[in-house]
Amino acid sequence: MLVRTNDVCEAIAQRLCVAHSSLPPSGIR
């Protein structure tokens, strides 16, 4: 069972983007 890495990568990237946008940048990039 292989999952599309693109889909997973996009989902993770979006979640990270949202989390970073919600949380204030505290020296973490």
Model pLDDT for residues 1-29, shown as the tens digit of each residue? 566 888 888 888 888 777 666 666 665 55
Joined together, the tokens standing for residue 5 give: 């890495």
Question: Do you know the residue count of the chain?
Answer: 29
Q: Output Rg (C-alpha) for the chain, integer angstroms.
A: 12
CA distances from 11 to 8, 16, 18 (A): 5, 9, 11
Q: What is the dihedral of CA 16, 29, 5, 8, to 10 degrees?
A: -10
Scan for tokens 């940048």, then name that residue.
Answer: 25
Provide the pLDDT for residue 1: 55
Q: What is the pTM of this model?
A: 0.42
- What residue type is assigned to position 23 of the chain? L
